[in-house]
A = this chain, B = another copy of it.
Amino acid sequence: MRSIYCGQVTSSNVEQTVTLCGWVHRRRDLGGLIFIDMRDREGIVQVFFDPDKPEAFALASELRNEFCIRVTGVVRARPESQINKDMATGEIEVFAHGLEIINRAEPLPLDFNQTNTEEQRLKYRYLDLRRPEMAASLKTRARITSFVRRYMDEHGFLDIETPMLTKATPEGARDYLVPSRVHKGKFYALPQSPQLFKQLLMMSGFDRYYQIVKCFRDEDLRADRQPEFTQIDVETSFLNAEQVRELMENLIRGLWQNTIGVDLGQFPIMTFDEAMRRYGSDKPDLRNPMEMVDVADLLKEVAFAVFAGPANDPKGRVAALRVPSGAQLSRKQIDEYTQFVAIYGAKGLAWMKVNQAANGLEGVQSPVAKFLTDDIVREILARTGAQDGDIIFFGADSKKVVCDAIGALRLKLARDLDLVENCWKPLWVVDFPMFEEDGEGGVTAMHHPFTAPKDFTPAQLEADPLAAYANAYDMVINGYEVGGGSVRIHRGDMQQAVFRTIGISEADQKEKFGFLLDALKFGTPPHAGLAFGLDRLTMLLTGTDNIRDVIAFPKTTAAACLMTDAPSFANQQQLSELAIQTTVKADE
């Protein structure tokens, strides 16, 4: 029905007759003419109707926003004065001689010229998606998946589908359950990831697998989470961690180049321990110039228990964070930051304003100055690289509280003081601990229990689990974990050692992971993989921090679809067939 997309008409089409299909984006009546900004998925072009073509002009006078129309006309160069350099089609306009109103539109419940509430946008999602920003976002997402697929194809990865109706998975989040009609009383689970299936595909010998796949977690949603999300899921055999990282780093570098023309360069590699030490985070935002500096060794002897306690505790930490030009912060602002770190368990927030760094103790202003010597202050100033006009904050508590609190403070201060560089800072974080304490005397797997330890035998692992490092790696870009993976366990004895370490009984091992332990008996190859969050990558590449802007039909943070009104009530017959009933009373 069309000869060209609206957004693709350019000077090269001048004097050609074109036929366009699309929507009335805006109408203006000016100097006896009717001007229409006509929109389709490729963009907007200006169309005008002249009374000289009376039939088309009469019909054009009926046009309202969002009418679906078909226009035939001749492309003309705009007069010099009317050229719009901001529009791809800004050098031309279409003089319409034919118009067909394909479908009329009632006045819209959304106003494209102002900000609509997100509730309205989600209820009328099919209209919200007409906005050029949203259309561009989903087009970018399609370009991303297309690029990823081509890369994976070219590198010998096979796209293999894994089941959606499966068994409860071990990722640890809550599963979505699906009652079985055939096996009454039993349930499928929707996958939290295809982790075990992709490992089994390696055991089957497929060597390189990928899939762009929906995953599900029934968790309370934060702003950047959705109950269903999309993973770029990858697994390889006979490659080590370095080789997997290289393949995946090249993919992401290519993706940035292809999508936004940016060269991410080589990704630095940082251990988990170093990331926690310098940034208090395992996904450090390296655009933020501030770093934490350890000062416990200086403070073991001070007569200030808040410092001396953690400084002498092997599980404690005392760290300083220098804030460039932070001495400008008011008492009130410092109090607010003190409240902020309390969220993360910090019981206070010591600070030191640097007036004249060269003067040591004399040159600083701090409520804790009285506990410190000139030598200590000079060493703190030296280690943090403090300049006149800076402020230094101190975290002193357990390692965890200091990392969490000062790590979060670091991010908040950078935002508040506009210290974040406008650039891309990718990195790999590697060598995560295998396990972390679960707070009940046991340990849990920090990644998942199929992750291989680095240079540990099963016996060593069981003897001192907290000393073990995992051969795991996360890709972090600008403070967001965009992907993560690991070398997997490919021997049954190691897998059982890990299961035992995290307290899974023999019986549970058999019931939940019997097929995996069986499979490990038959010549499993060494294998390693990774998964990227597609939603997150798309958010970064489209510059949004709202995950719903990169998903066509997202759910609210209450996991509802405002457009279709899902979830909804089921009828009694359906439930009877499934042999379930709800425990919600009718009047609730």
Contact = CB atoms under 8 A, between A and B. Distances in A.
Contact of A158 (B126, B142, B190): B142
Interface string A158-185: 1111111111100000111111111111
A308 to B, nearest CB: 45
Contacts of A190: 164, 178
Interface in A38-74: 39-41, 66-68, 70
Nearest to A554: B163
A21 B160 contact: no
A106 interface: yes
A539 interface: no
B103 A161 contact: no
Contacts of A206: 41, 129, 135, 138
Nearest to A132: B205
Given A66-B523, A565-B167, A214 B161 contact: yes
B185 A582 contact: yes
A174 to B, nearest CB: 7
A200 interface: yes
A171 to B, nearest CB: 15
A125 B200 CA distance: 9
A203 interface: yes
Nearest to A560: B183
Interface residues of A, number: 121
Contacts of A570: 168, 177, 186-187
A407 interface: no
Interface in A513-548: 514-515, 518-519, 521-526
Given A567-B186, A579-B582, A552 B522 contact: no
B582 A204 contact: no
Given A177-B179, A205-B40, A564-B167, A160 B552 contact: yes
A372 interface: no
A119 interface: no
A240 B559 CA distance: 37
A588 interface: yes
A292 to B, nearest CB: 38
Contacts of A203: 126
A555 interface: yes
Nearest to A551: B161
A187 B565 CA distance: 11
Contact of A561 (B153, B166, B524): B166
A304 B69 CA distance: 62
Contacts of A167: 561, 564-568
A257 B214 CA distance: 31
Contacts of A514: 565
Nearest to A213: B214
A383 interface: no
Nearest to A144: B159
Given A161-B551, A182-B559, A561-B167, A105 B522 contact: yes
10 contacts: A103-B491, A127-B522, A129-B201, A130-B204, A166-B566, A181-B218, A184-B588, A185-B584, A186-B570, A188-B566
